[in-house]
Structure 1
Amino acid sequence: MKILKYLFFLILLVLIGGAIYFGTKDGSFDLAASKVIKAPAEVVYNNVKDFKSWEEWGPWMEEDENMEITYAEKTEGEGASYSWTSEVMGDGSMETVKVIPNKEIDQKISFNTPMGDSNSDVYWYFEDTENPSETKVTWGMKGEQTFMEKVFMGLFSNEDFETTLKTMYETGLNNLEESVMEDMKQFTVNVDGITEYGGGYYMYTSTSAKSSDIGSRMAPMMGQVMGYMQENNIQTAGMPFTIYNQIDEANGTLIFSAAIPVRDRVITPEGSPVVCGFMEPTTALKVTLRGEYGNLPNAYTKGEEYLTQNNIQKDNAKSMFEVYATDPGNVPNPANWVTEVYIPVLKTQNPESNQ
């Protein structure tokens, strides 16, 4: 009996000591992971703001494919929420409590466990970097562990709480980056048919270059034209466009003009790098690309195929041109950029207009 009594007191001392140890152990935490993603802040933010999009990159989905998710009527913005049940991850819910578009998201997360409910704060930051096409994304959580949570993590978890949480957030940010990159790659090409382009005056500057260098040459040329127009108080009359004056497919070179429409003819000084031109009204096949400019070869290929299939002849006396219907400065996601490609065709074919 004395042995049992001593064992009882020994176990009691261990339990008291354990309670004192875990009770005095600091349970407060503030853990986060950060990653620089090669995308504008608005594009990244748009992949995070709606809870429904979390299914595409959320790290917990890899842990439990059978997780059941229930969405509230509102899934983005302040007051948005969703909940989940999982045999692996446990049950819980999350609510968005504060939003600063493209800058910050604050949320409340609740876990329902056999040890009781646990509430913490989740935060997101979307910060600009020196490169306007990149965003530093921070995802974190802060709060206070309950006594039972400290006991459980101390006795039964193979990894400490901080390592587990940070690893999960790092995985989530890597998944988010892949989702964002895939989103930005999306594009569609639509052959709109034969149409009449009205033409008109335009300010432009021209150069010759290799086909592979067009992208890097185009922006500074457009900037030069726009700068000249601003300095001389010349108003724009439409969206910028590029004219392909001469194409040498054998050598992979071309002569092209970066142009901006204007209402009237503009007389420029002799020797000015920016001059005024005029485009005659043109019958052309119109092809619309929705996506990044690197997909333009697909638009031209689709256009050429359409002409061949419908036995329509190009008007080689006129130059092909493309109009940039959206301003990338206002539309940060390249998947939403709209470019109209025009391939001049002979009028004698009396084509049916789709406009």
Structure 2
Amino acid sequence: MKIFKYLLFLLLIIVIAGSIYIATKDGEYHIQETRIIPAPVEVVFNEVNEYHNWQNWEPWSQEAEDMVFEYNEKTRGKDAGYSWKSEKIGDGRIKTLDVKPFSSIDQQISFDTQFGTSTSDIYWEFNKMEDSTKVTWGMKGTQSFMEKLAFSFQSETLSSMMRPMFTKGLENLENSVLKKMEKFTINIDGVIQHGGGYYMYTTTASKTSQVNQRVQKMIEDVKTYMEKNNIEISGKPFTLYNERDESAGTTIFSAGIFTPSQVITPNNSRILNGYLPKQKVLRASLKGDYKNLQEAWDTAFDYIEENSLELNEEEDIFEVYITGPKSSPNPANWVTQIHFPIK
């Protein structure tokens, strides 16, 4: 009987000692992963800021196919959120606490466990790096007594369990963003009458493959000249292809902006005034990155041949930039209209 009492007493000491050890054990955790994504900071930020996008890249739903999502009325910006239910990984919810556009997002995530609700702070940091974005995704918090007890009997720590998920999530995020940026559509709008008009322009020659890189700077030069000289802008910027040598891969082209009337420029001016006549054109529209312009040209040429149309060789093909990098950082949203003069 005494031995039994001693054993109970010893067991009580072990339990008390174990409890003290667990209670005094540091339960704070801080998990953080970083990835450089080759995309504009605005595009990456907007992908994370909208919860409807998360199913494209967050790693948990890939681990648990039974997840059912329910979105709050607000899914973007401060106070946005959503919740999920899953027998495999449990239920939970996430809410956005604070947003600083294009630089940081603070969130709170909660998991319903057998020990109660576990809550952690989530933070995102977005740093522009030339044409890329450095993304930092972190989670921090403090484990409860029961959570510390549970992890004491596991071979992995919370950090070692979550870090691979964060790494995979950032990899998925990059793939999702790049896939969206690659989207483009080409449409043949048909034969229309273009109104033409006066325009300010500057001209140069280059490799055809370098036109899109050079034309933006040229358009900015024309715009600056017009603003300094109080010349009214009356249309979208455009590129006029004065001469294309397909075999040599070279182009003489002009970057211009429409203006309502003729402008007399000094003899030594690099910026000149020209006139585009009214003419019948086949218009093709590209929604997407400029790197897909050649495919849009080829589609239009095929349409011209299939419909027995004839190009007017006396006039120049021109592209009008309806929206571009100044309007949207995401190239999938850029709209370019290509005009092919028709006899």
Normalized against structure 1, the TM-score is what?
0.91
How far apart are 1:255 and its partner, in Å?
1.0
Aligned to 1:122: 122
- Residue of structure 1 aligned with 2:285, choices 271, 285, 288: 288
Aligned to 1:188: 185
Aligned to 1:349: none
Aligned to 1:56: 56
Percent of counterpart pairs with the same letter? Answer: 45
Q: Tell me, in whole angstroms, the C-alpha distance in 1 between the residues paired with 2:14 and 2:302.
A: 81
Q: Tell me, in whole angstroms, the C-alpha distance in 1 between the residues paired with 2:298 and 2:73.
A: 44
Q: Tell me, in whole angstroms, the C-alpha distance in 1 between the residues paired with 2:205 and 2:257.
A: 18
Aligned to 2:339: 342
Q: Tell me, in whole angstroms, the C-alpha distance in 2 between the residues paired with 1:250 and 1:75.
A: 52
Aligned to 1:301: 298
- Residue of structure 1 aligned with 2:132, choices 118, 131, 134: 134
Asked if residue 155 in structure 1 is aligned to residue 164 in structure 2, the reply is: no
Q: Tell me, in whole angstroms, the C-alpha distance in 1 between the residues paired with 2:216 and 2:81.
A: 42
Aligned to 1:318: 315
Matched ranges for 1:166-245 at <5 A: 166-245=163-242
3-state secondary structure, aligned to 1:303 = helix
Q: Tell me, in whole angstroms, the C-alpha distance in 1 between the residues paired with 2:98 and 2:226.
A: 43
Matched ranges for 1:236-255 at <5 A: 236-255=233-252
Q: Tell me, in whole angstroms, the C-alpha distance in 2 between the residues paired with 1:14 and 1:174.
A: 46
Structure 2 letter corresponding to 1:149 = E
Aligned to 1:17: 17
How far apart are 1:324 and its partner, in Å?
0.4
Segment of structure 1 superposing worse, 138-147 or 184-193:
138-147
Segment of structure 1 superposing worse, 191-200 or 57-66:
57-66
Which segments of 5 or more consecutive residues in structure 2 lack a partner in the other structure? none
Which segments of 5 or more consecutive residues in structure 1 lack a partner in the other structure? 347-355
Deviations 1:24-76 (A, max 9, x none): 11212333222222222221122112222111100112211222222233322
Structure 1 letter corresponding to 2:150 = F
Q: Tell me, in whole angstroms, the C-alpha distance in 2 between the residues paired with 1:3 and 1:60.
A: 51
Deviations 1:157-192 (A, max 9, x none): x32112322332222111111100001000011110
How far apart are 1:3 and its partner, in Å?
4.9
How far apart are 1:4 and its partner, in Å?
4.3
Q: Tell me, in whole angstroms, the C-alpha distance in 2 between the residues paired with 1:299 and 1:313.
A: 18
Q: Tell me, in whole angstroms, the C-alpha distance in 2 between the residues paired with 1:34 and 1:195.
A: 51
Q: Tell me, in whole angstroms, the C-alpha distance in 2 between the residues paired with 1:137 and 1:173.
A: 8
Deviations 1:136-155 (A, max 9, x none): 22222222110011111122
Q: Tell me, in whole angstroms, the C-alpha distance in 2 between the residues paired with 1:115 and 1:323.
A: 62
Query: In angstroms, what is the RMSD of aligned CA positions?
Result: 1.8
How far apart are 1:98 and its partner, in Å?
2.5
Normalized against structure 2, the TM-score is what?
0.94
Q: Tell me, in whole angstroms, the C-alpha distance in 1 between the residues paired with 2:194 and 2:323.
A: 18
Segment of structure 1 superposing worse, 172-181 or 207-216:
207-216
Q: How many residues align?
A: 343
Structure 1 letter corresponding to 2:212 = G
How far apart are 1:90 and its partner, in Å?
1.8
